[in-house]
Every structure is written in C-alpha cells, then in structure tokens.
C-alpha cells in the first residue's frame, strides 16, 4: 500500500494529458495565417440614419428598409404567446435540460409543426434545439467536420452572393468558404453544373467539401427555389461527394406559397442519404422573435449525437426559448405567425409594383427581401459600389438599405431592400428610395 501510495503521489507531481498521444490535436499554425474576421457591418447601418437626423432634425421621417428583424419593424411575437410560454416555463421549472432541448419541444415540433411521417424514419430524436439560427449553423458546421471527411481546412459551399455570416461563421471553425458559380440574371442560383465545378476545384486544391448550404427563400437576394429544384441540387451534391447538405429554411413560412414540406424532401432520398441532410428552422423571421433565440436542427442520428455531445460542454439551450416555440406550434404556426406573414405578403405586392413601375432590374421571390440592381445610379453618382451609395441614401435621404457589396463582390452594384414592414411603410420607403436614386441621374 505504501508503494502504491508513493507511485500515485509521484504521478500527481507530473503534468498529464487528458487524451492519449494518438488522439491529440496535431500542432498546426493555420490560425496565425487566417484573415481577421470582420465584424458584421449590418449593425452599423443605422449610423447613417442618425447622421441624417442630425441635419434634417430629430423629427425628420426615416425609412429603415435594412431590417431583417420582424420583431423590430412589425409587431413581433404576440403577447399571448409570450404569456403562454411563461406558464409553460413555470410548470417546467428552472433545472438543467438536455443539450438537445426537452422531450416536450421535440415531440411538439415533430408531431404538430413538421408532422413528420413515420415512413421517413425520422421523429423527435432527430431534432436538436439551438439558441437561435447562428448557434444552429455553428453546431451544424462543427458536426459536418466531425462526422464528414473529418478534416479542418475543407470547404463549405454557399451561393455566389451569400448572407454575410455564411462567409465567416464556418471560417472561424476551420472551413474555407467557396462561392458557387452563378449569374445575376438567374439570381445567382445554384446549378448542378456549378456544384460539380465546386467539387472539381476543391479536388485540385487537395480538399474535400464538408457541406453545401441551400437557402430558400434566400438572404440577401430573396430568391426562392422550388422544392423539386432543391431536391435536385441536394442529390447532385451528395452524388458528387459533398458530405452534407444543409437546408436553411428560416424564411420558409414568410412566402406566398406556404412553408416547405420536409416530408417531400425526406421521401426523395434513401434512408442512407437522409443521414446526410440537415435542416435549420426557427422563430426568428416568421414570428419576429429575434431576441427569443429559438431555432432547431433536424438531422440524422450521427449528426444529432455529435451536436449533443459537443453542446454538453458548450451551449445548452434555454427553456423559455423552447416554450415560445411550443406555444406557437400548439396554437398552429400559421395563426401564431400571421402578424408577420400577412403584412409581409402585402408589402411584397406593393414593392413589386413599385420596382416594376420604376423599370428596375431586381430579384424578388419570397421571404423578406428584394435585391435591386443600382448600376445606373452608381455610375451617375460616381460611386465605387453600393457601400458608398447606401451611405448617400441614409445620410442625405434617410432611407436605409443594405449594400450588396457587404455580401460578396458579385453583389457590389446591388442593394438589399427589406419589406418586412407594413404595406404603408413599404410604399413610403420605396417612394423615398427612388426619389433619392433619381436625384443622381
């Protein structure tokens, strides 16, 4: 016993690794060679409106068409849902939940929201609650690396003009982001040929593709991809060796045609292929619940296990965020989200009419956004791109839009105009936009 105690004490005097040598992370200096990740300039857009008010007066009307937040520009989550969620929270208590959320959320989401069909083989255990869409995306990227080709430095494919955070969220985790081929007259949409070209370029660099993101309706372009086309693109990706397909459907309820049917997509793939599909959805856009931070992923069992394991050492989701979703799903989501969906539909018609009458070149499907080509105005004003143009619009006319230059070089001459506003506000903002643009001609 004395000898054993002596050996134990001696061992405790020395440092010790947690994992054995064969499992240790190899030394790699790649973080030192990475670009500095820039902060999102989305949060700085309103500075231009402040400059306008400083000159025009504190009471001067301004028009914020930069919004991606229905909770700020529209009523947001109805009070009765927040109250119902509080009742659910009180009944549930305040102890720790599982890293994937709670059984009640999983059950309600699977049965009352998605209405998952038994023949898909998917059910509540395929659902992981996340603390908002960005948390969901980061967890999905990490799982793609963990369960896919298992290499840092591989690639995530996104559209030619992607949402800003698609560029930098994956990069922070060690994935290189590749912009797929795409042409403006087609809304920079994916094609099967373009997806295969991405795979070929990756192979030339000695890399593999960890995943591809298919977003519909799209941010920033507003482009909507029909479900059969999404299936074709996903099938092309899987057959080309891309490890995972991530469907970002965060806007799919804010459409004229209604939400996407996940069962149609699942039934289009074999059980083995379904394991390589990931879906993101949540309350942020369709319920105007940005600061509720309520989203979830649906995925195959290995992805769910990977996310759950890592989340147990990281972000465990808050229950109140789940309770708001439960309350909305139990009520019937179309009814719960009507205060966002209906005015946005009306505003879509208003803005489409304004853009058509102005003879503008634009992309506009569903969701929140129209993407407007401002090339003639940039040239007339002598601006470099829409970053300069958007500053002019905000500071001199009090109309805020998002510069397409923020998303990628392909969008440099375009602006994103959000119509997540009342129809009256959309009409006024659209009129102000073209008053400002036409003043440059």
Q: What pLDDT was estimated at residue 45?
A: 77
Q: Using CA atoms, how far apart are residues 385 and 390, in angstroms rounded to an integer?
A: 9
Q: What pLDDT was estimated at residue 248?
A: 98
Over the chain, what is the mean pLDDT?
A: 95
| Residue 126 CA neighbour count, 13 Å, CB half | 23
- Mean pLDDT to the nearest integer, 155-166: 97
Using pLDDT thresholds of 50, 70 and 90, give the confidence band for residue 4: low
Q: What pLDDT was estimated at residue 7?
A: 63
Residue count of the chain, please give it.
441
- Mean pLDDT to the nearest integer, 7-21: 84
The answer to whether the beta carbons of residues 339 and 288 sit under 8 Å apart is: yes
The answer to whether the beta carbons of residues 102 and 271 sit under 8 Å apart is: no
Q: What pLDDT was estimated at residue 43?
A: 66
CA distances from 59 to 56, 80, 277, 390 (A): 8, 33, 50, 21
Please check the confidence at residue 340 and state whether its pLDDT lies above 60.
yes
- Mean pLDDT to the nearest integer, 429-439: 98
What domains sit in the chain, N to C, each tagged with a CATH number?
A: 41-75+337-438 (3.90.1150.10), 80-334 (3.40.640.10)
- Mean pLDDT to the nearest integer, 347-355: 98
- Mean pLDDT to the nearest integer, 184-200: 97
Strand 244-248 relative to strand 209-215, pairing: parallel
Q: For 17-64, write each residue's pLDDT tens digit.
A: 999 999 999 999 999 999 999 887 766 777 889 999 999 999 999 999
C-beta neighbour count of 357 within 10 angstroms: 10
In this prediction the pTM is 0.96
Q: For 54-111, write each residue's pLDDT tens digit.
A: 999 999 999 999 988 888 899 999 999 999 999 999 999 999 999 999 999 999 999 9
Q: What pLDDT was estimated at residue 1?
A: 45
- Mean pLDDT to the nearest integer, 157-166: 96
| Residue where the block lists tokens 């879509």 | 348
């Amino acid at each position: 016993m004395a000898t054993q105690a002596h050996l134990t004490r001696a061992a405790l005097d020395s440092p010790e690794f947690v994992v054995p040598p064969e499992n240790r992370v190899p030394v790699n200096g790649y973080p030192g060679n990475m670009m500095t990740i820039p902060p999102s300039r989305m949060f700085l857009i309103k500075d231009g409106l402040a400059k306008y008010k400083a000159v025009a007066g504190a009471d001067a009307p301004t028009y914020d068409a930069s919004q991606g937040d229905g909770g700020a520009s529209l009523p947001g989550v109805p009070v009765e849902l927040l109250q119902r969620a509080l009742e659910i929270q009180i009944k549930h208590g305040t102890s720790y939940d599982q890293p994937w959320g709670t059984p009640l959320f999983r059950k309600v989401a699977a049965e009352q929201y998605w209405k998952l069909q038994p023949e898909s083989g998917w059910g509540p255990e395929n659902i992981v609650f996340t603390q908002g869409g960005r948390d969901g995306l980061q967890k999905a990227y990490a799982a793609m690396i963990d369960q896919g080709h298992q290499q840092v430095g591989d690639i995530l494919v996104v559209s030619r003009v992607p949402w800003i955070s698609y560029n930098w969220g994956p990069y922070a985790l060690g994935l290189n982001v590749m912009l797929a081929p795409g042409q403006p007259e087609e809304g920079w949409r994916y094609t099967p040929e373009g997806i295969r070209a991405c795979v070929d370029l990756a192979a030339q660099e000695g890399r593999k593709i960890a995943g591809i993101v298919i977003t519909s309706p799209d941010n920033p372009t507003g482009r909507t991809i029909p479900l059969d086309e999404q299936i074709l693109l996903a099938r092309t990706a899987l057959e080309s060796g891309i490890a995972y397909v991530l469907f970002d459907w965060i806007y799919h309820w804010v459409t004229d045609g209604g939400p996407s049917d996940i069962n149609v997509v699942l039934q289009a793939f074999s059980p083995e292929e379904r394991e390589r599909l990931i879906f993101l959805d949540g309350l942020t856009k369709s319920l105007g619940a940005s600061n509720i931070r309520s989203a979830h992923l649906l995925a195959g069992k290995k992805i769910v296990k990977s996310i759950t394991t890592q989340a147990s050492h990281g972000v465990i989701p808050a229950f109140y965020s789940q309770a708001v979703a439960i309350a909305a799903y139990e009520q019937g989501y179309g009814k719960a989200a009507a205060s966002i969906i209906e005015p946005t539909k009306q505003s879509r018609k208003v803005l489409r009419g304004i853009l058509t009458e102005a003879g503008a070149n634009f992309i506009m499907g569903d969701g929140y956004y129209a993407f407007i080509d401002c090339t003639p105005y940039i040239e007339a004003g002598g601006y470099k791109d829409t970053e300069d143009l958007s500053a002019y619009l905000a500071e001199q006319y009090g109309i805020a839009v998002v510069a397409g230059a923020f998303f990628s070089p392909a969008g440099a001459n375009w602006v994103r105009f959000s119509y997540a506003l009342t129809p009256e506000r959309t009409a006024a903002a659209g009129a102000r936009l073209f008053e400002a643009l036409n003043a440059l001609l």
